[in-house]
Amino acid sequence: MGRLLRPGLLLLAAVVGLAVAQVRVEELTILSVDRTVDVSSQVVLISNKIKLENTNAASTKVFLFTVEPVLKAHLSFIGASTNNGKTGLKTSIVQIPGNTEALAYKIELATELAKGKTVDLEVEQVFTQHLVPFPSEITQKEKQLVKFVGNHYVYSPYTVKKQSTKVTLSSRNIESFSKLKPYSQSDNIISFGPYENIVPYSQSELIAHYENNSPFLTITKLDRLIEVSHWGNVAVEEKIEIVHTGAKLKGSFSRFDYQREANSGINSIKAFKTILPASAKDVYYRDDIGNISTSNMWSKHDSVELTLRPRFPLFGGWKTRYVLGYNVPSYEYLFAEGSNYALKMRLLDHVFDSMVVEDLSVKIILPEGASNIKFRPPYPVKELARSLHYTYLDVIGRPVITVLSSNLVENHIQDFTVEYTFPKVYMLREPLLIVAAFLILFLTVIIYVRLDFSISSSKPGKGPTGNEVVVENVLRKHGKRAQIYENFDSQLVKLKNNKDSGSFQSALKNMQTEHKTETQAINDIASKHRSEAPELFETITELQRQDRGFWEIYITYSQTVEKFATGKMPRQQFSEQEAQFIRKRDEFAEKINQIIKNL
């Protein structure tokens, strides 16, 4: 996963405008310094192993460490420790009287350092955007050269008895480097020193111009969203904008040369690896166009490794943006004691090795109803005013913590803590809202189906709506007779095809019974209302007379079909009688339809 901060090291971010205390330089002597400068990637890593002696008359617990002017604007991280990194030391920014150029830090020792005693310290620094591509533009086939500018000596307010510096490059291909004797070169390592009796604040420009095709990939903007749910899930989404900050591409890009030649675009970035938590699931990776299917994911015992491949290779000056999201179980990050909860997660997570983040924005969305919120960052950040976020089934909104930071590296991958109070009874709020919503929906449907919203007209001089009820009943019964006629037609077609007279006679008997039942029911309805509506009675009587004739021609036609099916009637005679049936059927149907319209 790259180089992480060792346990015990303290992170520090300088804030512009912060009140800085002045500290006097005490009489201490640095007996030896072994300095390692790693410039093999896009960041500069400097490790100082210091042996310190107290030459003062009184004991002290303070050691001052300074950063030379050429590097202080690029400092991203500084940390101090003792006992081989097992004991972290508190570090704070101070000002040294008489020296306004240097960036100074006060390191508080673990114990008092008495006169004549020594202590071993280790101070680590990380600098960003200090390596400069030189030249600043290269063609697709050229290799990337960068220039590092530093100091041959340890920039310190104390006298240094002895020091040595080892510079680790990314390649043995070195264009040039400064040669302050004694020095030596072995492969990709340049050694300077040892130098003795170095006076305070000594400076001697150290320059290395060398080949460095490492990924110069900078995250210009990272928006990290963490949404906490007490239903067992924490959702994480990151919107990332990245740019290649190496030497810019000069001329046009040739896809043919890029795929054919292995050394074409050697400083370009084809893919990079992101490390996710081991419990990450439902991972998605997309951009403005949609899902990017060229990514690969491997689950390991302690992490999930995701290889992200942009839609196009990134050359110097090229940029892209994408969205990465996943879910993790809340039991790994959310701790509870009664109604008090503590969320512990990373403020910044791994994106790629040797990453540089220019601007970071983190939003932490807590459950609705959370109160007494306390946010504890691992290092100084800028916290914005609290806000609310609304989503499904929210009433008062979910509290949102928003923090900003800048100039971050892998050493800043540290956990924050959010403490808040959340009564467990609030867990029932959303289920009750769902139940209430469905209850209201069902009640609305029940009321709606029981109300009559139809619009009826009332004509002057007309009696009550009893006639309408009679007509509706008659039409319902007549509709059933219409279905009997449709069945009659289908049975006649079957008789023509299968010549089965027995089956037809059985079906005909059933249809006669049903027709007689419906006809009698209409007669009963008409007789019951004969005195109340004589005109309606006459109309229904005419409907019954026409239906009787309609039924008779169907019976006659069925006898004709049966004779034809059994071979007792020639086809020509059958065709003529079938044509007569169709003509009479249409005449009766037209008369019946006209009567129905007049009801």
From first to last of its 599 residues, the chain has per-residue pLDDT tens of: 333 333 333 334 333 334 466 677 778 899 999 999 999 999 999 999 999 998 886 888 899 999 998 899 999 999 999 987 778 899 999 988 888 888 999 999 988 888 888 999 999 999 999 999 999 998 888 899 999 999 999 999 999 999 999 999 999 999 999 999 999 999 999 999 899 999 999 999 999 999 999 999 999 999 999 999 999 999 999 999 999 999 999 888 888 787 787 778 888 888 899 999 999 999 999 888 877 777 888 998 889 999 998 888 899 899 999 999 999 999 999 999 999 999 999 999 999 999 999 999 999 999 998 999 999 999 999 999 999 999 888 788 899 999 999 999 999 999 999 999 998 887 788 888 889 999 999 999 998 888 877 665 544 444 445 678 888 888 888 888 888 888 888 888 888 888 888 888 888 888 889 888 888 888 888 888 888 788 888 888 888 888 888 888 888 888 888 888 888 888 888 888 888 888 888 888 888 888 888 77
The answer to whether residues 257 and 289 belong to one domain is yes
CB 400 within 8 A of CB 363: yes
- The SS3 assignment for 598 reads helix
The answer to whether residues 273 and 371 belong to one domain is yes
Confirm whether 421 is domain-assigned. yes
The answer to whether residues 107 and 235 belong to one domain is no
The answer to whether residues 269 and 200 belong to one domain is no
- The SS3 assignment for 306 reads strand
The DSSP bridge partners found for residue 387 are 400
And the tokens for 88?
């972290």
Ordered strands of the 415-421 beta sheet: 334-337, 340-346, 415-421, 371-376
The answer to whether residues 179 and 222 belong to one domain is no
Of residues 116, 66, 106, 107, the one with CA closest to residue 89? 107
Confirm whether 449 is domain-assigned. no
From 190, 211, 232, give the residue that closes a domain. Answer: 211
The answer to whether residues 270 and 328 belong to one domain is yes
Name the strand (E) or helix (H) holding 124: strand 118-127
Confirm whether 442 is domain-assigned. no
The reply to whether the predicted model has a pTM over 0.75 is: no
The answer to whether residues 495 and 587 belong to one domain is yes
Confirm whether 450 is domain-assigned. no
Confirm whether 355 is domain-assigned. yes
The answer to whether residues 401 and 493 belong to one domain is no
Name the strand (E) or helix (H) holding 54: strand 44-54
And the tokens for 107?
């390191």
The answer to whether residues 113 and 238 belong to one domain is no
Confirm whether 37 is domain-assigned. yes
CA 214 to chain centre: 29
The answer to whether residues 35 and 58 belong to one domain is yes
Total number of domains constituting the chain: 3
Q: Which range of residues forms the domain containing residue 335? A: 217-428
The answer to whether residues 181 and 90 belong to one domain is yes
From 211, 240, 273, give the residue that closes a domain. Answer: 211
Of residues 378, 384, 414, 413, the one with CA closest to residue 400? 384
Q: What share of the chain is helix, strand, coil (3-state, %, to 5)?
A: 25, 40, 35
Q: What is the DSSP letter of 428?
A: G
Amino acid in position 340: N
Confirm whether 451 is domain-assigned. no
What b/e readout covers 9-26, taking b as 16+ CB neighbours within 10 angstroms? bbbbbeeeeeeeeebebb
Angle at alpha carbon of residue 213, lines to 209 and 214, rounded to 5°: 110
The answer to whether residues 195 and 232 belong to one domain is no
Peptide bond before 135: cis, by omega within 30 degrees of 0? yes
Confirm whether 457 is domain-assigned. no
